[in-house]
A and B are shown apart, each in its own frame.
Chain A
Amino acid sequence: MVSTLKIAGFDVFRYIRTQVTHYARNFRTFSRQRPVAAFWIGVIIFLVFMSIAAPVVSPKDPYIPDFLKVTNSPDAENFFGTDFLGRDQLTRIIYGGRTSLFIGLISVFLGVGAGSLWGLASGYLGGKFDLISQRLLEILMAIPGLILAMILMFILGASVWTLIVAIAFTRLAFGARVIRAVSLSVRETTYVEAARSTGAPTWRVIVFHVAPQTFAPFLVLFTTNIGIAILIEASLGFIGLGIAPPTPTWGSMLGEAASNLEPFWWLVFFPGLFITIAVLAFNLAGAGLQDALDPRNRGTIE
Chain B
Amino acid sequence: MLKYIAKRLLIAIPTIFGVTVLIFLIMRALPGDPLSVFYDPSQITIMSDKERAAIMADLGLDRPLVVQYLSWAGNALRGDLGTSFLRGDSIAETIGRRGAISAEIGILSILIAWFIGLPIGILSAMRPNSIGDGIASMLSVVFLAIPGFWLGLLIILGLIHLWSYHPPILSSQLWQDPWLNLQIVAGPALVLGLAQAAFVARMARSSLFEVFREDYVRTARAKGMKESVVLLRHALPNALLPVITLSGVLLGFALGGSVTIERAFGTPGLGNTLIAGAIDRDMTMVQSIVLVYSMVFVGVNLLVDLSYSFLDPRIRLD
The interface residues of chain B lying within 8 Å CB-to-CB of A139 are: 15, 18-19, 22
- A144 close to B147 (CB less than 8 A): no
A114, chain B: closest CB distance, angstroms: 17
A276, chain B: closest CB distance, angstroms: 5
Q: A142-B298, A283-B144 are in contact. Are A151 and B252 (CB under 8 A)?
A: no
Q: A138-B15, A231-B147 are in contact. Are A151 and B275 (CB under 8 A)?
A: no
Cα A263 to Cα B154 in complex, Å, equals: 9
Interface string of B290-314 (1 = CB under 8 A from A): 1001100110010000000000000
B155, chain A: closest CB distance, angstroms: 11
Interface residues of B (CB under 8 A from A): 14-16, 18-19, 22-23, 26-27, 30-32, 141-142, 144-147, 149-150, 153-154, 156-157, 160-161, 166, 169, 252-253, 255-257, 259-260, 263-264, 274-275, 278-279, 281, 286-287, 290, 293-294, 297-298, 301
The interface residues of chain A lying within 8 Å CB-to-CB of B18 are: 135-136, 138-139, 142
Q: A138-B15, A258-B153, A275-B150 are in contact. Are A156 and B145 (CB under 8 A)?
A: no
A54-88: which have CB < 8 Å to B?
Answer: none
Cα A279 to Cα B279 in complex, Å, equals: 27
The interface residues of chain B lying within 8 Å CB-to-CB of A235 are: 147, 149, 256-257, 259-260
B235, chain A: closest CB distance, angstroms: 23
Cα A167 to Cα B154 in complex, Å, equals: 26
Stretch at the interface among A23-31, A121-129, A175-183, A237-245: A237-245
The interface residues of chain A lying within 8 Å CB-to-CB of B144 are: 283
Interface string of A221-253 (1 = CB under 8 A from B): 000000100010011001111000000000000
Quick check: is A38 within 8 A (CB to CB) of the other chain? no
> Within the complex, which residue of A147, A234, A258 is in contact with B290, where a contact is CB–CB below 8 Å?
A147
- A279 close to B145 (CB less than 8 A): yes
- B293 close to A261 (CB less than 8 A): no
Name 8 A/B residue pairs within 8 A (Cβ), A-sorted: A139-B15, A142-B298, A145-B252, A154-B278, A258-B149, A258-B263, A265-B161, A283-B145
Number of interchain pairs (Cβ within 8 Å):
139
Quick check: is A192 within 8 A (CB to CB) of the other chain? no
Cα A157 to Cα B40 in complex, Å, equals: 13
Quick check: is A272 within 8 A (CB to CB) of the other chain? yes
Q: A146-B260, A261-B166, A268-B154 are in contact. Are A135 and B290 (CB under 8 A)?
A: no
Quick check: is A257 within 8 A (CB to CB) of the other chain? yes
Closest 6 CB pairs between A and B?
A: A146-B256, A272-B150, A139-B18, A280-B145, A279-B145, A144-B256
Q: Which residue of A lies closest to B146 (CB)?
A: A276
Q: A142-B15, A143-B23, A144-B256 are in contact. Are A154 and B157 (CB under 8 A)?
A: no
Cα A235 to Cα B146 in complex, Å, equals: 12
- B147 close to A155 (CB less than 8 A): no
- B260 close to A144 (CB less than 8 A): no
